[in-house]
């Protein structure tokens, strides 16, 4: 954009923004005449996508700030008032910078539109927000979070009355309303909103009900009661929201919890980590060190809004080993299905739901217990959507998850829940110990039954306007000129989820993919390896997933070596693809 156009956009924004911090922050950029920075703030608007908003904090239309939050909320309010006559919304927020401000701005904007709004008075995990929407019978919910993104980000996710993130037709309906907003309605003061009964703060009542619900999903409550004190757990909330509930529930089970002191208190700058993401080994380092020093049995880590869970377990030498998201999903799935079978509590039509980039090992595990498996697109809202469908089909959701450390055990929540997953993981560790196994032994037992699987994820970040074009170029290249082989193995099947087409490369036969359209390309290789390319929906990244399987029956060390060689070749080819 030309300098004059950028300056005009900036002046327009400054007239609309009521918050002094964001006005002053942008004014400093104008004073310095930093055109590149100005262009990044105004070359596009931070769009309200299918889940909500997420972006870098700062002044400008392409930033997370008080104005963009109020504008998005005005659109949501217009949509709600068009759908129901007596709408209500629940709001929660995490530990990120300005989360409390954005939550308040959203709440008062809703109140300005006559919508009753209930807000947690302090930070709470995302899964508790989902629970609260259902428990309180609200029309919608908002959680202010950027999940595991770097500190400069914040975001805003919208949930509908079923407790799940918005899906059709509500997502497109809300997006349409947000686009029509030029200026949000003037907000009342907090005092006025409280006096009129439009604003209400909620806390302990929902906390207690949520905790009770999580405890209802214990498979061996008596084991926890009698042996919980024997399990030593190290936990890190990574400066986020998980502390209160994870510590509380584990503590009430008698489990000894040592929380990493440096990461226990909420802090939106996340000073001890580069990324507050339990998927990152570096983020878990302090917890691993404390685990070794205290000779713990289990290390747990949750991201800032406590919807993702990472774990580590000691090997025979006492050194802690991180467990991948796919591996923990396999362990939890196997544990839940096996115990339900053992206790004769398996529902009549059990179901596991996973995403298209989650390991196929989970399918084999679930099917071995007679469960049906559904694949959905990446994004937990699709798992929540399937749970809603099961209410009319008579099928019973048992477990679901995605490779990116997200799991859901209960149906009272319709988003990934690291709190309940953390508690059940502790129970599983205790159960395995009682039968003379470690979690690593349990994992190896799964491999012995179904064959060895291993996955890699390659993320490439391309920032700014040029970065978006680079990602589009990469996806177009894969779509129009898919490689004939990857890692030395021929591409047997190409799945283009944008075109909803699956193509057999040998015969040319095409079939329909019966999932929503999405900018994802998946290559199934002749040896069964699955390689997937997907632009991130929340960060300026393109992600490549690869999942390899060794031949069943191979000795574990040999299987691991074979798969490692395959993955090294695949990694090399994917790196080459990214160099276009």
Digit-coded pLDDT (tens) for 85-99: 999 999 999 999 999
Q: Tell me: do 11 and 153 sit in the same domain.
A: yes
Q: Provide φ and ψ at 299, rounded to 5°.
A: -115, 130
Q: Tell me: do 190 and 250 sit in the same domain.
A: no
Q: What is the mean pLDDT of residues 160-183?
A: 93
Q: Tell me: do 537 and 561 sit in the same domain.
A: yes
Domain span at residue 184 reads 3-201
Q: What is the 3-state secondary structure (H, E, C) of 25-46?
A: HHHHHHHHCCHHHHHHHHCCCC
Q: Tell me: do 127 and 183 sit in the same domain.
A: yes
Q: Tell me: do 342 and 278 sit in the same domain.
A: yes
Q: What is the pLDDT of residues 413-445, one digit of tens each?
A: 999 999 999 999 999 999 999 999 999 999 999
In this predicted structure, which of 192-206, 456-470, 495-509 has the lowest mean pLDDT? 456-470
Catalytic positions are 147
| Strand order across the beta sheet in which 350-355 lies | 372-376, 350-355, 396-402, 406-408
pLDDT at 577: 85
Q: What is the pLDDT of residues 336-364, one digit of tens each?
A: 999 999 999 999 999 999 999 999 999 99
Q: Which residues contact 358 (CB under 8 A, 6 or more apart)?
A: 326, 329, 401, 402, 403
Reply yes or no on whether the pLDDT at 168 is more than 80: yes
Last residue of a domain, one of 450, 475, 508: 450
pLDDT band at 315 (very low <50, low <70, confident <90, very high): very high
pTM reported for the whole predicted model: 0.93
Q: What is the pLDDT of residues 211-246, one digit of tens each?
A: 999 999 999 999 999 999 999 999 999 999 999 999
pLDDT band at 580 (very low <50, low <70, confident <90, very high): low
The CA distance from 90 to 75, in Å, is 16
Last residue of a domain, one of 201, 230, 261: 201
Cβ atoms within 10 Å of 512's Cβ, excluding its own: 9
Last residue of a domain, one of 450, 469, 494: 450
Q: Which residues contact 443 (CB under 8 A, 6 or more apart)?
A: 323, 327, 330, 331
Q: Provide φ and ψ at 67, rounded to 5°.
A: -65, -45
Length of the chain: 580
Q: Tell me: do 434 and 501 sit in the same domain.
A: no
pLDDT at 529: 93
Supply the DSSP string of 411-451, one letter for each residue.
SS--S--HHHHHHHHHHHHHHHHHTT--HHHHHHHHHHHH-
The DSSP secondary-structure symbol of 184 reads P
pLDDT at 185: 95
Distances from the Cα of 529 to the Cα of 51, 359, 568, angstroms: 31, 10, 13
* Closest CA relative to residue 270, chosen from 260, 280, 259, 262: 262
Reply yes or no on whether the pLDDT at 263 is more than 80: yes
User: What H or E segment, with its residue span, contains residue 133?
Assistant: helix 126-135
* Closest CA relative to residue 418, chosen from 214, 180, 120: 214
Supply the DSSP string of 311-375, one letter for each residue.
EEEE-TTS-EEEEPHHHHHHHHHHHHHHHHHHTT---SSEEEEEETTS-THHHHHHHHTT-EEEE
The CA distance from 122 to 207, in Å, is 12
Q: What is the mean pLDDT of residues 529-549?
A: 88
Q: Tell me: do 362 and 497 sit in the same domain.
A: no
Q: Tell me: do 503 and 392 sit in the same domain.
A: no
Q: Tell me: do 428 and 488 sit in the same domain.
A: no
Q: Tell me: do 489 and 417 sit in the same domain.
A: no
Q: Tell me: do 247 and 222 sit in the same domain.
A: yes
pLDDT at 258: 97
CATH of the domain at 187: 3.40.120.10
Q: Tell me: do 114 and 159 sit in the same domain.
A: yes
Q: How many domains does the chain contain in total?
A: 3
Reply yes or no on whether the pLDDT at 538 is more than 80: no
């Amino acid at each position: 954009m030309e300098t004059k156009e950028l300056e005009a956009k900036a002046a327009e924004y400054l007239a609309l923004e009521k918050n002094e911090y964001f006005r002053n922050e942008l004014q400093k950029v104008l004073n310095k005449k930093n055109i590149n920075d100005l262009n990044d703030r105004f070359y596009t608007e931070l769009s309200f996508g299918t889940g909500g908003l997420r972006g870098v904090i700062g002044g400008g239309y392409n930033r997370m700030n008080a104005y963009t939050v109020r504008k998005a909320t005005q659109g949501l309010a217009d949509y709600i008032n068009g759908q129901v006559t007596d709408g209500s919304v629940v709001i929660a927020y995490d530990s990120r910078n300005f989360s409390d401000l954005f939550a308040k701005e959203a709440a008062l904007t809703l109140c300005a539109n006559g919508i009753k709004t209930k807000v947690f008075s302090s930070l709470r995990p995302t899964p508790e927000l989902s629970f609260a929407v259902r428990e309180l019978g609200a029309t919608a919910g908002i959680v202010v979070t950027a999940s595991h993104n770097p500190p400069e980000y914040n975001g805003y996710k919208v949930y509908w009355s079923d407790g799940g993130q918005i899906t059709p037709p509500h997502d497109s309906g809300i997006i349409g309303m947000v686009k029509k907003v030029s200026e949000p309605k003037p907000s009342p003061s907090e005092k006025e909103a409280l006096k009129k009964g439009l604003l209400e703060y909620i806390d302990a009542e929902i906390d207690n009900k949520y905790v009770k619900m999580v405890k209802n999903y214990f498979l061996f409550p008596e084991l926890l009661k009698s042996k919980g004190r024997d399990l030593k757990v190290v936990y890190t909330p990574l400066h986020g929201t998980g502390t209160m509930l994870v510590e509380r529930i584990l503590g009430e089970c008698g489990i000894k919890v040592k929380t990493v002191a440096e990461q226990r208190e909420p802090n939106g700058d996340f000073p001890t980590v580069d990324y507050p993401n339990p998927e990152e080994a570096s983020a878990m380092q302090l917890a691993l060190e404390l685990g070794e020093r205290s000779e713990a049995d289990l290390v747990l880590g949750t991201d800032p809004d406590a919807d993702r869970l990472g774990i580590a377990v000691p090997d025979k030498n006492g050194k802690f080993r991180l467990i991948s998201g796919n591996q923990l999903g396999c362990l939890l799935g196997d544990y839940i299905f096996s115990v339900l079978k053992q206790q004769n509590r398996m529902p009549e039509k059990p179901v596991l739901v996973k995403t298209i980039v989650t390991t196929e090992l989970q399918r084999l595990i679930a099917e071995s217990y007679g469960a049906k498996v559904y694949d959905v697109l990446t994004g937990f809202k699709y798992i929540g959507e399937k749970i809603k469908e099961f209410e009319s089909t008579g099928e019973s959701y048992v477990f679901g998850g995605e490779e990116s450390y997200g799991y859901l055990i209960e149906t009272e929540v319709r988003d990934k829940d690291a709190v309940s997953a953390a508690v059940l993981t502790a129970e599983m560790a205790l159960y395995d110990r009682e039968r003379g196994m470690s979690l690593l032994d349990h994992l190896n037992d799964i491999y012995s039954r179904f064959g060895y699987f291993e996955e890699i994820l390659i993320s490439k970040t391309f920032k700014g306007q040029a970065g978006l074009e680079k990602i589009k170029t990469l996806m177009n290249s894969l779509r129009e000129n898919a490689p004939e082989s990857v890692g030395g193995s021929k591409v047997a099947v190409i799945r283009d989820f944008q075109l909803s087409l699956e193509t057999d490369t040998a015969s040319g036969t095409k079939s329909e993919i019966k999932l929503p359209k999405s900018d994802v390309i998946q290559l199934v290789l002749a040896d069964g390896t699955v390689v997937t390319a997907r632009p991130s929906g929340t960060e300026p990244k393109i992600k490549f997933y690869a999942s390899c399987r060794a031949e069943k029956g191979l000795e574990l060390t040999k299987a691991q070596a074979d798969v490692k060689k395959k993955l090294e070749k695949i990694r090399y080819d994917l790196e080459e693809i990214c160099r276009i």
